[in-house]
Amino acid sequence: MALDGILLYKAIPGLRSILPARIQKIYQISTTEILFQLHCSAGKQQMLISCHSQYNRILLSHRSYPTPSEPGSFVMLLRKYLEGSIIEKIEQAGLDRWCTFTINRHNEIGDREILSLVVELMGKYANVILVSQQNRIIDAMKRIPPFENNRRTVHPGAEFIPTPPQDKKDPFKDFAVDADQTLTAQYAGFSPFLSKEAEYRMAHGQSFSSIMKEIRDSDRLYIANQNGEAVFHCIELTSVGQCVSYPIFEGFDILYYHKEEKDRIREISGDVFKVVRRELKHQKQKLPRLLKEYDEAKDCDKWRVYGDLLFSYGIQDTKGTGSITLQDFETGQDVVIPLDPKLDGTRNARRCYTKYSKLKKGQKYLEEQIAICENEIFYFEGLLEQLTQADFITASEIKDELVKGGYIREKKAVRHRKKKKDSDLPNITEFTMKNGVRISFGRNNLQNEALTFRIARRNETWLHAKDYHGAHVVIHTSDPDEETLRTAANIAACFSAGRNSSSVPINWCKVSSLKKIPGAKPGMVQLGSYKTIYIDPDPEALRLQGLDIS
């Protein structure tokens, strides 16, 4: 569901409240997102502009965002023109889905200059355009050359032509509704969803003017679930049913932050998903072939019998013959022996003995290869599970793990970035319960390894979902009470492949009962004595305790 003109109209006052604001830094979060770090009278602020085809929006955010080491050319241009400049005002074009920031800057020779940053939030046509004082386009996030659109060219040097306004009524001034047309067709700023909600209310006796008064007075974003999809607007969604409300900008973050995070993981970390899926597919295709070869190797004795029979019968003239049938001395049954037509009987017999010897020795090698292949499948299934719940930092650490394992080729480091030391600890999640007990857990193999063998003390309590890929959880106390133990078990269940199951078994023991498996992948442990607790995963209980498990 996309932003409409009325929702942008409701977001504009929040942006105006921090103006004037100085642009301190500009970052590119992904190919469609730009983050402005601002300084204003209220202190530091972050303004996010997204031109994603589905999640386009503009908001003030307090969340932390990763930034790529190599920003794109458009962001570099924005830094050149806008860093250190002042945003003086923001104006929306009526109730259309675009607005303009007026920016005051000093150029290279110190003269005052007024630039415009036009933000268009129109679905797949969403764009950010920097316009000069002479109304010429300096550059845009998405360029549109003349051969693609001869009515409106968006290209450096071209004249900026605003999106033409829609010839529709203002819903805050004109309340005369035409019953023969949808509200979307009549009024500016109305999306099909808002039109449906308003029409539902009007059908149940509410007037259009009172609906618009409710929209004008609202400072909340109401979110509901409709057929498995999130729907939202600035008034209660009576046509959908139960909904929850948040301040507008916070609601946007809740709706979109984690949705776009997967895109950021792919864009900034490299496509870790693609590498893991490719390796998992390769190993799964390889395993049946190894098992087939192993079955053939186990049936190696028949080749020894073939050789014995050829020698016993003294077969010599076999050239030009593809097979021969001889009677087995022990069973009395006929045995069909495959032959190489190019060889005589003696050399065919030796060939049978050679194949027997090769298959006999190959059994041990194939057993090793099957074990390695099964371990690789288990390993990549675990990585894939971790990536489904990974944030950007966790995915970056998974990428580092794949680089160390030789699955991804390491790119040359950028000079100004510090190289990560082997002694640096990964980003382990920790939170403190109301009783003061700390609980830590890892969300990937490197975090699990570091938590279990470098951070946790021998007398502390360790938990992990039995027979599932998942997080290592450590309670930083030697004698946890039942509430603490069940909370930690709930974390282990929610951050495991069994999070959608019920009665998930969670093994727990002292850290001293754990051992590293020689030569195993990171995060693999061997348990000594342990106990098992069964838990129904309850993400909401963790959220109530302040733990974000999105």
- As annotated, the residues of the chain forming the CATH 2.30.310.10 domain(s) are 5-140
pLDDT value for 454: 92
pLDDT value for 455: 93
pLDDT value for 412: 60
Provide the greatest CA pair distance for the chain: 109
| 177 close to 208: Cβ distance less than 8 angstroms | yes
Cβ atoms < 10 Å from Cβ of 547: 18
Chain centre distance of CA 346: 64
- Which residue matches tokens 């050319």? 73
pLDDT value for 500: 87
pLDDT value for 548: 66
pLDDT value for 405: 87
Q: What is the DSSP string of 62-127?
A: -S-----SS--HHHHHHHHHHTT-EEEEEEE-TTSSEEEEEEEEE-TTS-EEEEEEEEE--GGG-E
Helical spans, DSSP H, in 144-247: 183-186, 192-203, 208-217
Cβ atoms < 10 Å from Cβ of 124: 11
Q: How big is the chain by its Cα radius of gyration, in Å?
A: 33
> pLDDT per position in the chain (550 positions), as tens?
678 999 999 999 999 999 999 999 999 888 888 999 999 988 999 999 999 888 889 999 988 877 766 788 999 999 999 999 999 999 999 999 999 999 999 988 888 999 999 999 988 889 999 999 999 999 999 998 888 777 788 999 999 999 888 889 999 999 999 988 999 999 999 999 999 999 999 999 999 999 999 999 999 999 998 887 889 999 999 999 888 999 999 988 888 876 777 676 766 666 788 889 999 999 999 999 999 999 999 999 999 999 999 999 888 888 888 999 999 888 889 999 999 999 999 999 999 999 999 999 999 999 999 999 999 999 999 998 888 878 778 888 888 888 888 888 876 654 445 555 555 788 898 988 888 899 999 999 999 999 999 999 999 999 999 989 999 999 999 889 999 999 999 999 999 999 888 899 999 999 999 999 888 888 899 999 999 999 999 988 888 777 766 5
| 287 close to 295: Cβ distance less than 8 angstroms | no
Separation of alpha carbons 30 and 34, rounded Å = 7
pLDDT value for 6: 94
User: For 362, which DSSP code?
Assistant: H
Separation of alpha carbons 397 and 485, rounded Å = 28
Separation of alpha carbons 366 and 360, rounded Å = 10
| 49 close to 36: Cβ distance less than 8 angstroms | yes
The fold of 5-140 is ibrinogen binding protein from staphylococcus aureus fold (2.30.310)
| 366 close to 290: Cβ distance less than 8 angstroms | yes
Separation of alpha carbons 464 and 492, rounded Å = 6
Helix (H, G, I), strand (E, B), or coil: what is residue 381?
helix
Q: Can you say whether the dihedral through the CA atoms of 344, 346, 351, 356 is positive or negative?
A: positive
**364 torsion bin: left (phi>0), alpha (psi -120 to 50), beta (else):** alpha
State pLDDT tens for residues 423-481. 578 889 898 888 889 999 999 999 999 999 999 999 999 999 998 999 999 999 988 99
pLDDT value for 415: 47
Distances (CA, A) of 136 to 141, 157, 366, 504: 15, 6, 69, 62
Q: What are the counts of helices (DSSP H) followed by strands (DSSP E) for the chain? A: 13, 22
Determine what percent of the chain falls in helix, strand and coil, rounding each to the nearest 5.
35, 25, 40
